[in-house]
Structures are given as structure tokens and as C-alpha cells.
Amino acid sequence: MYDLIIIGAGTAGLSAAVYGVRAGKRVLLLEEQVYGGQILSAVEVENYPGIRRISGYEFAENLYRQATELGAEMRYEKAVKIREEGGEKTVITNRSGYACRAVILATGAKKRRLGLEREEELTGAGISYCATCDGAFYRGKDTAVTGGGNTALEDALFLSGYCRKVYLIHRRDQFRGEERLVRALKEKENVVTVMESRIIRLNGKAHLESVTVEHSRTEREEELLVAGLFIAVGQEPDNRAFSDAVRLDASGYVEAGEDCRTSRAGIFTAGDCRTKEVRQLATAAADGAVAALAACAYMEQSSWQ
């Protein structure tokens, strides 16, 4: 029997684990893939208060060590359901089931797909969702990035150091990412911005060879010869497994306010998987602390009753 089970070992989940174990609780972290979450693909983090500069990998590694050295247990299993009987919760995984008093959903979000024909087939054969993981394969080649947020801007900047040319394709006439990144990109001679344009076709035999874009104003089509396409069009949550345990919004995010309480007593949520305005590393860590302390307060209260 655990006090607290945290589903997802990204920044939010690991931060919650740090607060949970420091409050004296027996904490289990369940992770389907690798610990660290999305920050693993950040080359450099320079907006986490108190840390001037750190790689995403090092940040994740430090946080994982901090949580586990303090006493959090970790299992690599996929949580598929939360069952509740008489106030006791059981998290069912693909391998087993674990009883606990409170749960924190920190499932994060996954990279959104463009939804184009051949996108799945060419993933790993020219299409990637992680510039820092795959960028080096495209050294000296022409590539494209699509998206207009911080991820797309950072990916284009990162790739400009490896690639001969980087097309940055965005559907609107303005980026939504930070001005600082937009300015840095303007200084890169090998980055070409293709605004108000969408990719409508992915071309190539076994490997991506080009993308066809449609310019929205003129409806003109243009073929850009690229060996790689990095898709950075945001994220989507995947909380379907928990839709009968807690209320989700229309996009699938767990409904919760800044107190990280869900529609179900004893189930809390933290990080990118919950409804919120700002999805940043600092807010994921903050959510972890808030959710863990709320879970501790819930356990205290329920032990009096």
C-alpha cells in the first residue's frame, strides 16, 4: 500500500515525488517510457529561476536523482485505469495493480501530429518530432521546421547550426513564440521563413525528399526540397485511460484549477496534462509541489474521518 502514486515521471511528476517523500509519504512513480518528460529534448534551459543555464537532459537527471535518492520508488509500467473502492484507490497498470490513498496525474502531453497522409510512414525516414534528438543526422542538408511556437523557433535555431538551409514554415503571419527567439532567427542567414503557409503533401519514396506547401493568400503551391522535416506544432494530452475517474475538458486535459484538485476527491493533477494557461518548466515544477501538498492534506483529513 502506497500513500501516493504519481502517474508520469516528467518535471511535474518528479517534483511532486520530491514533495511527497519529504512529507514522509511512501511514493510510487509510474512511468510508461523514460523519466524526464519533454524537457529531455531541450538543448538548453535558461528560463528556470535560479539556474542560469542547464541542458534539458541534465535537468531531468538531477530531478530524477533528487526524487529517488530521497526515497521515491519508480516502476516502468503503463497506468491504464484508476479503480476506487471504499476510499482506497488502486492504480491498474499493464503488469499489476497498486493500492494507494491518493493519486497525482502528471501524464504530460505528446507531440501533436500534422495529420497528413504518409506522416506515420515517413516518421524516422525524414520526419521527426525532436530536433535535438535527430538534428545531427541532417548535417549539411536542407531541412524544414513547421510550427510557430517556442519549440519550432528553438528547433530552427538549433538546426541552423547543422543544416545548409532551414525553412521555417508557419501557418500565420506572426510567430507565437518569444520575441528574443524571433530576433535570433532573423540573424541566421541559412534560415528562410515561409509564412502564411501550410504543408499539404509529404513527398518521397522510402525517405522524405520534399514537402509541398500551400501559401494561404494566393493558394499557390510550392515544392521545397528537404531531406528532413521537424514537426513542432504543439502538444496534445492523452488522458483517455482516466476519463471515467476524473473530468476532462473537450481537448482531453484534466480539468483542474491552480490548486491542482480534479473532479474526484483524492485524485490530483500536475503539469502539462491539466487545464492551464502557461505550460512551462517552472509551472510544471510548481504544480508538482502544489499537487503533492494538496494530496498530503487530503490524506491527513481522510485519516481523521
Provide, rounded to whole angstroms, the least separation between the CB of residue 209 and ligand NAP: 21
How many residues bind to ligand NAP according to rule CB under 6 A? Answer: 21
The region of 55-63, 73-81, 94-102, 231-239 touching ligand NAP under the rule CB under 6 A is 231-239
Residue nearer to ligand NAP on the CB measure, 3 or 155: 155
**Smallest separation, CB 37 to ligand NAP (Å):** 12
Out of 26, 118, 171, 201, the only residue in the binding site for ligand NAP (CB under 6 A) is 171
Joined together, the cell numbers standing for residue 212 give 509541398
User: Is 133 tagged catalytic?
Assistant: yes
Listed residue (11, 25, 33) closest to 102, CA to CA: 25
Under a CB-based contact definition with an 8 Å cutoff, are residues 52 and 91 in contact? no
Identify the residue among 11, 68, 150, 210 touching ligand NAP (CB under 6 A): 150
What x/- string results for residues 110 through 149 when contact with ligand NAP is judged by CB under 6 A?
--x-x-------------------------------xxxx
- Best CA proximity match to 292, nearest among 1, 86, 6, 2: 6
For ligand NAP, which residue has the nearest CB?
149
Least CB distance to ligand NAP at residue 159 (A) = 15
User: Hey, what's the cell of 137?
Assistant: 543526422
Inter-CA distances, 164 with 130, 199, 228, Å:
18, 21, 12
Contact flag: residue 280 with ligand NAP (CB under 6 A): yes
Q: Is 273 a catalytic residue?
A: no
Tell me which residues in 53-92 interact with ligand NAP (CB under 6 A): none
203 binds ligand NAP (CB under 6 A): no
The span of 66-74, 95-103, 127-135, 169-177 binding ligand NAP (CB under 6 A) equals 169-177
CB contact at 8 A, 211 and 144: yes
In whole angstroms, what separates CA 206 from the centre of its chain?
Answer: 29
The dihedral formed by the CA atoms of 79, 85, 88 and 91, expressed in degrees to the nearest 10: -10
Span from 23-31, 85-93, 118-126, 170-178 in contact with ligand NAP (CB under 6 A): 170-178
Task: Report, in Å, the least distance between residue 280 CB and ligand NAP.
Answer: 6
Sign of the torsion angle spanned by Cα atoms 151, 153, 156, 160: negative
Give the E-state strand segments of the chain in sequence order.
Answer: 2-7, 27-30, 73-75, 79-85, 88-93, 97-105, 110-111, 127-128, 142-146, 165-169, 191-194, 197-203, 210-215, 221-225, 228-231, 235-236, 267-269
100 forms bridges with which residues in the sheet? 2, 89
Cell for 39? 524537457
Q: Does 212 bind ligand NAP (CB under 6 A)?
A: no
Binding site for ligand NAP (CB under 6 A): 47, 112, 114, 146-152, 154, 171-172, 176, 198, 232-235, 279-280
Residues classed as catalytic: 130, 133-134
